[in-house]
């Protein structure tokens, strides 16, 4: 029989105190979509479950000083439907449709998804491409961690046992920039065979790429940036030739394994396909934004 003590803190400070007291013997419960199955199947043994669902101060989506701020209790469904997200970061709202079914999105949280550190998360690569930061609190104080450094191994993060994630901070897209995400999968809500996210910035007077972030997922234990692919496209004028080169370089950077979804070689090809799609989509969005700001040629 599985036994643990359910604790319900009255505020964030009390939640931090409980984590400091029980450390590895406790876990935070927000949505529970990833956590509860681990407990049920005895993959995770704990003595205390700290339920923060009642902390209303952690449930918000706001745009402030050029940043989208998403509280720890915001559900995936709330992000999908948020007017703020749709206006300021449409890619994030669109990809939420791929996160399980509606029942899952109604209960699961963005922060919980990221803290689970699943190698097949749809959200992590997109947010890394968008330069997201993770805000963390403990009784010792707070800190901010780039999401690409927050996920450090298979199902693991850099969180200390006494720390709690309070917010995801997503900067607004830079001027003349676009972002896109694509995953190759069997069915719409399946885990990805391979997925890629990208953010591309263009010179407003040409098609030259001034900056790029290309992030791969499901082809390694954690999402990671394809930095050689990024280097190859920066400073180049966007076109089919450079797109093919970058896709090939990015596929080599991928580190997939053969499994029921396909062979290593097949997954590398899927990385090529997805890379071309997201870079093309991000460039199209960047051009559209430049045109609206008066930079059309």
Per-residue pLDDT reduced to its tens digit, 58-78? 999 999 999 999 999 999 999
* Strands laid side by side in the 141-146 sheet: 61-64, 67-71, 164-171, 133-138, 141-146
Residues 69 and 51: their CA atoms lie apart, in Å, by: 22
At 92-111, the pLDDT tens digits run 998 888 777 787 887 889 99
Classify 82 as helix, strand or coil. Answer: coil
pLDDT for res 294: 41
Do the Cβ atoms of 271 and 248 come closer than 8 Å? no
What is the radius of gyration, based on Cα positions, of the chain? 20
What element of type H or E holds 151?
strand 151-153
* 20 in Cβ contact with 165 (< 8 Å): no
Domains of the chain (ranges; CATH) run 5-51 (3.30.43.10), 58-171 (3.30.465.10), 177-291 (3.30.390.50)
State yes or no: pLDDT of 272 exceeds 60: yes
Q: What's the rounded Cα separation, in Å, for the pair 30 and 54?
A: 9
pTM for the full model? 0.93
Q: pLDDT tens-digit profile of 108-146?
A: 899 999 999 988 888 999 999 999 999 999 999 999 999
């Amino acid at each position: 029989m599985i036994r643990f003590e359910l604790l319900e803190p009255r505020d964030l400070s009390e939640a931090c105190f409980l984590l400091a007291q029980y450390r590895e013997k406790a876990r935070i419960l927000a949505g529970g979509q990833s956590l509860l199955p681990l407990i049920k199947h005895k993959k995770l043994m704990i003595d205390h479950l700290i339920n923060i669902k009642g902390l209303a101060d952690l449930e918000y989506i706001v745009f402030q000083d050029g940043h989208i701020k998403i509280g720890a209790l915001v559900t995936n469904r709330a992000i999908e439907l948020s007017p703020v997200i749709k206006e300021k970061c449409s890619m994030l709202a669109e990809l939420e449709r791929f996160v399980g079914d509606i029942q899952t999105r109604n209960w699961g949280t963005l922060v919980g998804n990221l803290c689970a550190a699943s190698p097949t998360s749809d959200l992590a690569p997109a947010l890394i491409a968008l330069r997201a930061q993770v805000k963390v609190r403990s009784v010792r104080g707070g800190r901010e961690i780039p999401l690409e450094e927050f996920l450090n191994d298979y199902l693991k993060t850099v969180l200390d046992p006494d720390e709690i994630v309070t917010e995801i901070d997503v900067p607004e897209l830079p001027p003349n920039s676009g972002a896109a995400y694509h995953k190759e999968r069997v069915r719409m809500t399946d885990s990805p065979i391979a997925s890629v996210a990208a953010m591309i910035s263009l010179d407003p007077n040409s098609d030259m790429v001034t900056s790029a972030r290309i992030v791969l997922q499901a082809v390694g234990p954690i999402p990671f940036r394809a930095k050689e692919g990024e280097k190859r496209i920066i400073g180049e004028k966007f076109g089919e030739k450079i797109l093919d080169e970058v896709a090939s370089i990015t596929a080599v950077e991928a580190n997939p394994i053969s499994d029921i979804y396909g062979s290593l070689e097949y997954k590398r090809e899927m990385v090529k396909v997805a890379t071309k799609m997201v870079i093309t989509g991000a460039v199209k969005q960047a051009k559209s934004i430049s045109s609206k700001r008066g930079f059309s040629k």
